[in-house]
Amino acid sequence: MTPASGSCSARQASSDDWTLIDLAPPVADLRADARAGLRASPKRLSSKYFYDARGSRLFEAITRQPEYYLTRVETALLEAVAPRIAQRVGPNVHVVELGTGSGIKTRQLLDALDDPVAYTSVEISKAALIDSTRALAAQFPHLQLLPVCADFTRPVPLPPARRAARRTLVFFPGSTLGNFDDDDALELLRSIRQTMGTHGLALLGFDLVKPVERLEAAYNDAAGVTAEFTLNLLARLNREADGRFDLNRFAHHAAYSVERERIETAIVSREAQTVDVAGETVHFDAGERIEVEISRKYTGASIRGIAAESGLAVAETWTDAARDFALVLLRAQDADA
Ligand code: AVJ
């Protein structure tokens, strides 16, 4: 998955079978965002900047750590319930995925669906979009691919498929919604409601509330991959924003807030220090935090709550036997079924 972090204007792309549709989203400005975020109190940097090439590789490595159950559980759940999802969704849908992942879940869904008419991936990083589209074209040679380079937090005007779709199915797995704070999550769900239309559906992945030990272990793996993933944000500022961070003087810190039902991840300064970055000099107290990520955990009630607030309703919920993770099918409140 890749929240906003690239530019669409860098490369043109198409093949005989597909053409990238470039909706020219505003280019994310790492330097300006870093300056503003490090001036703020508390300091903050957006988790959307995790996913440069190295960050995306590190995230894939996280998904293979024994403590990080999310991807394994969601993939197994999707494998088990894909036929029921296909039944409920019906034939000839236009699948619209928000963000690009490894493609495994995409394949599972497309394999199970009854004759989908098209697949659109909405992705802000043009390079990631081109790579994932090429891979999918090889795997599904008869499926129409309509890659759209755009910011998926906004409603996406969908390119029409050659064969008329019976409905749109928005796919947003990985509990990625949990990386957005409450206001932004609502805005994103309202955008999804717009994109899918009155008769569309949306299939979302939600990581569920569970004992704090397991949640914290998932974000503090013993091999230290998550720590490397978090600190890559500073490495990226060194590479792309003239940063002078010494990564040894900062630490990854992830803890679960029972009250807010979310993992809160910070980069903590191990000592008092001053660092140049993006043309500024930033002071850190010993123990001072840069807030970098939240990963919200959900309950049936909280899922129903945010759905209701964004004009959506829960049509169906599938969970694994241990109730670690949920795949939830959402419909518009004003739809008939
Ligand atoms: C990409 C949203 C699924 O929040 O669990 C993993 C990102 N951050 N470990 C999550 C992440 C640290 C991840 N998602």
What are the pLDDT digits (tens) for 141-166?
A: 999 999 999 889 889 999 899 999 99
20-29 mean pLDDT: 79
174 pocket-lining for ligand 1 (C-beta < 6 Å): yes
> Model confidence over 274-304: pLDDT tens digits?
999 999 999 999 999 999 999 999 999 999 9
Atom of ligand 1 nearest to the CA of 230: 12
pLDDT confidence of residue 102:
82
**Ligand 1 neighbourhood includes 70 CB (under 6 angstroms):** yes
CB-CB contact of 122 with 146 (8 Å): no
Give the pLDDT of residue 196. Answer: 97
The Å distance, Cα 65 to ligand 1 centre, comes to 12
pLDDT band at 25; cut points 50, 70, 90: low
Q: Which of 293, 298, 325 is the best mutation target for the ligand 1 pocket, counting ligand atoms within 8 Å of the beta carbon and taking the most? A: 293
219 lines ligand 1 (CB under 6 A): yes
- Classify residue 287 as left (phi > 0), alpha (psi -120 to 50) or beta: left
Residue 79 has pLDDT above 90, yes or no: yes
178 lines ligand 1 (CB under 6 A): yes
pLDDT computed for residue 7 by the predictor: 53
| Per-residue pLDDT, 10 | 46
The verdict on the CB of residue 99 being under 6 Å from ligand 1 is no
pLDDT bucket at 1, cuts 50 / 70 / 90: very low
Question: In a mutational test of the pocket of ligand 1, which residue from 1, 51, 59, 291 has the highest number of ligand atoms less than 8 Å from its CB?
Answer: 59
Q: What is the whole-number distance in angstroms between the Cα of residue 179 and the centre of ligand 1?
A: 7
Length of the chain: 337
Residue burial 317-327, b: 16+ Cβ < 10 Å; e: rest = ebbbeeebbbb
Beta bridge partners of 291: 44, 266
Ligand 1 neighbour 295 (Cβ under 6 A): yes
Q: Whose CA is nearest to atom 14 of ligand 1?
A: 176
The answer to whether residue 232 scores a pLDDT higher than 90 is yes
Which strand (E) or helix (H) includes residue 253?
strand 250-257
- Ligand 1 pocket, 179 CB below 6 A? yes
Residue 5 has pLDDT above 60, yes or no: no
The answer to whether 298 and 206 have CB atoms below 8 angstroms apart is yes
Between 337 and 320, residue with greater pLDDT = 320
State if residue 1 touches ligand 1 by the CB under 6 angstroms criterion.
yes
The span from the CA of 323 to the CA of 69, in Å, is: 12
Q: Are 1 and 100 in contact (CB under 8 A)?
A: yes
Which residue owns the Cα nearest ligand 1 atom 13? 176
Q: Is the CB–ligand 1 distance for residue 175 below 6 Å?
A: yes
Per-residue model confidence (pLDDT) at position 3: 44
Q: How confident is residue 2, by pLDDT bands cut at 50, 70 and 90?
A: very low
Closest ligand 1 atom to residue 263 Cα is 4
Pairing label, strands 262-269, 273-277: unpaired
Residue range 317-328: mean pLDDT, rounded: 98
Q: Is the pLDDT of residue 73 over 70?
A: yes
**What are the backbone dihedrals phi and psi of residue 142, each rounded to the nearest 5 degrees, phi first?**
-100, 5
Q: For 190-223, write each residue's pLDDT tens digit.
A: 999 999 999 999 999 999 999 999 999 999 999 9
Of all protein residues, whose CA lies closest to atom 11 belonging to ligand 1?
A: 59
Q: Do the beta carbons of residue 1 and residue 116 sit within 8 Å?
A: no
What confidence tens digit (pLDDT) does each residue in 166-185 have? Answer: 999 999 999 999 999 999 99
Largest CA distance in the chain: 62
Could you tell me which residues are beta bridge partners of residue 22? 149
Task: Tell how far the Cα of 245 is from the centroid of ligand 1, in angstroms.
Answer: 23
Distance CA 201, CA 88 (A): 10
pTM greater than 0.85: yes
**pLDDT band at residue 125 under the 50/70/90 scheme:** confident
**C-alpha to C-alpha distance for 299 and 207, rounded to whole angstroms:** 9
Give me the pLDDT at residue 8, please: 57
Q: Examine the pLDDT at 224 and tell me if it is beyond 80.
A: yes
Looking at residue 13, its pLDDT comes to 76
Query: Which amino acid residue places its CA nearest to atom 10 of ligand 1?
Result: 295
Residue nearest to atom 4 of ligand 1 (CA): 295
Q: What are phi and psi of 260, to 5 degrees?
A: -95, 0
Structure tokens at 10: 């860098």
Calculate what percentage of the chain has a pLDDT beyond 70: 94
